[in-house]
Amino acid sequence: MVIIDSVRFYRPFWLCMRVLVPTFFKESSRPIQLYVAVLHVLVTLWFPLHLLLHLLLHPSPAELLKNLTMSLTCVACSLKHVAHLYHLPEIVEIESLIGQLDTFISSELEHRYYQDHVKCHAKRFTRCLYISFGMVYAVFLFGAFVQIINGNLELIYPAYFPFDLERNRCLAAVALGYQIFSILVEGLQGLGNDTYTPLTLCLLGGHLHLWSIRMAQLGFLEDETASNHQRLLEYIEQHKLLVRFHYLVAQTISQVQLVQLGGCGATLCIIVSYVLFFVGDTISLVYYLVFFGVVCVQLFPSCYFASEVAEEVERLPYAIFSSRWYDQSREHRFDLLVFTQMAMGSRGRVIKAGGLIELNLNAFFATLKMAYSLFAVVVRVKGI
């Protein structure tokens, strides 16, 4: 049998965290602490703030929409990053639970399901995410490079700076370099943000299904009733790990997904409005089209895998009933009855964004409808 190691899918996430918050990994020297503080003040705090402050200067409609496409994205990215930093200890515990659950995969049927579904979906999602991020930042860097080569030191996104950029080219170059650097760092934050939630939900749904496979086979593969009862007790302990896993996931992604739903809906609307009304050059058009796709990639996998988790939770009592319980010992049947009642009591548990919105495919389509409604308002105001 192939050795199962689901934790390896988190390596890009932890690589981003090592760059952004090395102090979490016991690297607490004074230069490292200063690096983390400066990075988060300049990028996590000031970058979205300096974009939003520009809105107070009454910009033109084109500048307003161009500013909003990035400012809303950066505000959402910073908020999600802060939420992840707050929950890093819980994320470490989740990784430990995943490692333990991996060791319980034993039968050929379980290995085949893991390879064909869990591993396949995780690889497909992460590959799609990395490609989309690579594309949008390749187009962004190409556009910035062309702008610099042409000697154009205008800001990539309209923003507020406490000095006059038109009179001092050195300060204009510093401001442009700051925006390019900040967008690249925000990319690392976004990659970490958008990797964690869908990947964790995918693994949670996969392990719930794998437990159901084991439970449904109980009594059909062994002849000794005593060993079946012992296995039932083992499966109950595994179920406790899954319940803890589900609880921690709901805690760590709640605030993140609330920001994600609201931010993605508004950003999609603004991107479409800006492209329709103001984008004229090919590079900008390609950039914003890729940007639109990346925003959808950020949102859809989380909702899809959350729907899978909800379905697997609903199926747990059926998996228990599918086992060969009817010819087991009285003690076995009694423990199974109590356990089934407990499992049915947890069927109503759902993962909610901010404790308000149930996270599933309905939330994804509701977000698209919200984006369309906002776009309709913009079109009506524009008079088209």
HEC string of 123-189 equals: HHHHHHHHHHHHHHHHHHHHHHHHHHHCCCCCCCCCCCCCCCCCCCHHHHHHHHHHHHHHHHHHHHH
Which DSSP helix (H) or strand (E) runs through 353?
Answer: strand 352-353
Tell me what pLDDT residue 62 has. 76
- Asked whether the whole model's pTM tops 0.75, one would answer yes
Q: How far apart are CA 176 and CA 182, in angstroms?
A: 10
Question: What pLDDT was estimated at residue 58?
Answer: 72
CB 258 within 8 A of CB 111: no
pLDDT computed for residue 8 by the predictor:
92
The residue assigned the tokens 């964790």 is 200
pLDDT of residue 60: 78
Burial (CB count within 10 angstroms: exposed 0-12, middle 13-18, buried 19+), residue 80: buried
Q: What residue type is 239 in one-letter code? A: H
The domain segmentation of the chain, as residue ranges, is 6-382
Q: Using a pLDDT cut of 70, give the percent of the chain over it.
A: 95
Beta-bridge mates of residue 358: 352
**Interatomic CA distance for residues 352 and 253, integer angstroms:** 9
Q: Residue 93: is it exposed, middle or buried by C-beta count within 10 angstroms (0-12/13-18/19+)?
A: middle
Q: d(Cα 42, Cα 20) in Å, to the nearest integer?
A: 12
Phi-psi category of 360—alpha, beta or left, where left has phi over 0 and alpha has psi -120 to 50?
A: beta
Which residues in the chain land under pLDDT 70? 1-2, 27, 222-226, 346-348, 378-379, 381-384
- Name the residue among 62, 306, 284 with its Cα closest to residue 208: 306
What's residue 240's pLDDT? 92
Rg of the chain taking only CA atoms, in angstroms: 25
